Amino acid sequence: MRERIERWIAGGCNYAEGVAIYAEYGTNSALKTLFNAGASPFTQRKLRDELTAMDAAAKPKSRNYSKPKYQVTDLTPELQTEFTEKGKLFKEASALHGDLFHARTDKDRAHIREEIVKRFDRISDIWNKADAYIIREREISNDPVKLVQERNNIRSQLSKARKANNTEKIARLTATLDQLNQKINE
């Protein structure tokens, strides 16, 4: 299907050919009827839009799993210990979450909620410490090859942040990218 649509687009969007493609792959019977009624500026534009959307929907989607930015072994032994604590804290918070269902009073639920929040706050602190350490270590690095690799990684992350419209991340990554460019140009 994608190949036919892409050939149709590349070939100048012949209306009759587009109607045949939509008749075969399209699902909206009202649009099929509209397109069969004949070509007009509106139906030509609508047909092109529909087939372009079908082509985009048929493209394989990449899975956007976030990969760790670093290995646990990149951290100091003290941070490694805290990093292993993170898993234990998550399990405890999950168990407490299950306890919420069995709490009898609002006071008990509030206490359990506070304990859950404390554990997740601690998990966030551990992540922040690890991230700050890695950022410091990366700032110290003076290997030109690693600096260029890091710049390219930051550019990729910045592109993804722009697509997601994450202004906080964009600002942080832009500042990091400026620092890396200054180091590389020195």
pLDDT in tens, 156-182: 988 998 998 988 888 888 888 887 788
With b for 16 or more beta-carbon neighbours within 10 A and e for fewer, the 5-31 pattern comes to: beebeeeeeeeeebbebbeebbeeeeb
Which two structure tokens, joined as six digits, stand for 183?
């180091």
SS3 state at 71: coil
**Average pLDDT value for the chain:** 83
Q: Structural domain boundaries of the chain?
A: 2-58, 81-140, 142-186
Q: Would you say residue 81 has pLDDT above 50?
A: yes
The more confidently predicted of residues 116 and 185 is 116
81 with 89: CB under 8 angstroms? no
Q: Average pLDDT for residues 97-108, to the nearest whole number?
A: 88
Sign of CA dihedral 66, 54, 163, 155: positive
pTM: predicted TM-score of the whole model, two decimal places: 0.41
> Is 184:144 a contact under the CB 8 Å cutoff?
yes
Averaged pLDDT, 29-51 = 88
